[in-house]
Every structure is written in structure tokens, then in C-alpha cells.
A and B are shown apart, each in its own frame.
Chain A
Amino acid sequence: AQKVTQAQTEISVVEKEDVTLDCVYETRDTTYYLFWYKQPPSGELVFLIRRNSFDEQNEISGRYSWNFQKSTSSFNFTITASQVVDSAVYFCALSGGYGNKLVFGAGTILRVKS
């Protein structure tokens, strides 16, 4: 069975601080995909990144970066110099096999204070 664990329920930081959101996953599939989504107060899930299991290169997109480590089954997300607009719920998700169904973690609430 597939499982995603986001151990941090809620994180509060002050603007300009760096913050890392942890994600640990479990799967028996050899081919799988990992995702991060952002959910602002409006409710819609905003896609941030997709990473397949064969690509362990870290990725940076502006203030966002992702660290994928198969050895520890982790896919952590770092926001550098956080801003108030980063306040949202962040979900890590896993998809594997046929059907593209997503298995989500419980989410991490990020609060960035000015």
C-alpha cells in the first residue's frame, strides 16, 4: 500500500525565514511520481512540482527548492526567504502504477507572519 506522511501539522515562521516542509513516502512500486501542491484559502490545489522516481536531481524554482532522496524515501520542500503570500496548506502526494490516482499526506499548514 502507498502512504505519504507529513509529520509537521503546522509551522509558523516570520517573514524572510527559510522553512522546510518534510514528506516521507512508502510504496512498493519501482516507478512512481511525487508531487507538491499548494492550497491557498480559496481552496483550489495549485500544482508546484512533479518528480518521477528515476530522477533524483534536486530542483530549484525561484524561492522554492525540492530535495528528493530515494534512500530515505523523502521529498522535502524548502521555501527560501518566506513571504506572507506563502501562507497556505501544502500537500505532498504520491502516484504510482496505472490510473494516476494520488495518495496525499495530511498536509502542513504554513503560517508566515510579517
Chain B
Amino acid sequence: DGGITQSPKYLFRKEGQNVTLSCEQNLNHDAMYWYRQDPGQGLRLIYYSQIVNDFQKGDIAEGYSVSREKKESFPLTVTSAQKNPTAFYLCASSSGQGPWNKFGQGTRLTVV
């Protein structure tokens, strides 16, 4: 079955460290997205990419970076510049044929 794999499921980071969240999809989807979820605020878009080697900032891109070197992969780096990184991060992908978003299981990042 095709799907989206996010790893790890739980991640702990010390303050001042960068950390990279993995997102891989085998759905042959062109577009991929990163969302952040905080309690009571729904999901907010961090970055998105519609094709390989191209990506755009979402609503809350500050303190994050991404790359899209392969169609299947869209890793998210949470840098030390992100002031409140503790959150639940969800990766999604969609086909260029229509607004269909498939989500991964998420990574819960905690800064200790």
C-alpha cells in the first residue's frame, strides 16, 4: 500500500540543536507539505513543495528549513532559531491532479 512515512515518531532535542524530521512518500505525488500542530490552534503550514528542487514558505516558516532533492522525500529541519519548536509535526502529500492531501502519522518533537 502506498503511503507517507514519518520518522521518528517521537523526538527529543536539546535547546540550541538542529534536528531533522524525515518524510518519505511512495504515492508518486508531486506536492509535499509540512504542517505544525499546537493545542487549540489547528494545523499551520510551514513549507510546501510542488516539484523537485523547488519549495515555498508557508505561514510559519521562520526557524525551519527544507529540501526537495527527490520526489519521494521532503525532510524538515528545525533549527535553533525556532523559538518554540515543541509541537506535533505532520507531513502531507498531494497529486497534481487535485486537492487531495494524504497525511503521515506525525512526529512529536519535544525540546528538553
In angstroms, Cα B42 to Cα A45, docked, is 12
Contact segment of B12-20, B63-71, B78-86, B93-101: B93-101
Decide if the interface of chain A is mainly helix, strand, loop or mixed.
Answer: loop
Bound-state Cα–Cα, A23 to B21, Å: 31
A95 at the interface (CB under 8 A from B): yes
Query: Given the complex, which residues of B lie within 8 Å of A101, measured CB to CB?
Result: 33, 45, 48, 58
The residue that A47 contacts in the complex, of B41, B88, B101, with Cβ under 8 A, is: B101
Bound CA span A95–B33, Å:
13
Taking a contact as CB atoms closer than 8 A, the residue among A4, A6, A100, A106 that contacts B31 in the complex is: A100
A106 touches B102 (CB 8 A): no
Complex Cα gap A100–B48 (Å): 10
Are B40 and A106 in touch, CB under 8 angstroms? Answer: yes
Count A-side interface residues using an 8 Å CB cutoff.
24
Give every chain B residue within 8 A of A102 (Cβ-Cβ). 33, 35, 43, 45, 92, 101
CB distance from B9 to the nearest CB of A (A): 8
Secondary structure type dominating chain B contacts: strand
Tell me the bound Cα distance from A33 to B42 in angstroms.
Answer: 18
Chain A: CB-nearest residue to B97: A100
- Pair A106/B42 contact, Cβ less than 8 Å: yes
Given the complex of chains A and B, what is the CA–CA distance between A100 and B105 in angstroms?
20
Interface positions of B from 24 to 66, Cβ below 8 Å from A = 31, 33, 35, 40-45, 48, 50, 56, 58
Note all chain A residues with C-beta closer than 8 A to B33.
101-102
B106 proximal to A (CB < 8 A): yes
B103 at the interface (CB under 8 A from A): yes
Q: Is A57 on the interface with B (CB-CB < 8 A)?
A: no
Shortest A19–chain B CB gap in Å is: 19
Contact (A33, B99) CB under 8 Å given A45-B90, A106-B40: yes
Known contacts A43-B108, A99-B50, A104-B42; 9 further A-B pairs (Cβ under 8 A): A44-B103, A44-B104, A44-B106, A45-B92, A47-B101, A47-B102, A101-B45, A106-B40, A106-B42
Question: Hey, which bits of chain B sit against chain A, CB under 8 A?
Answer: 31, 33, 35, 40-45, 48, 50, 56, 58, 88, 90, 92, 94, 98-106, 108
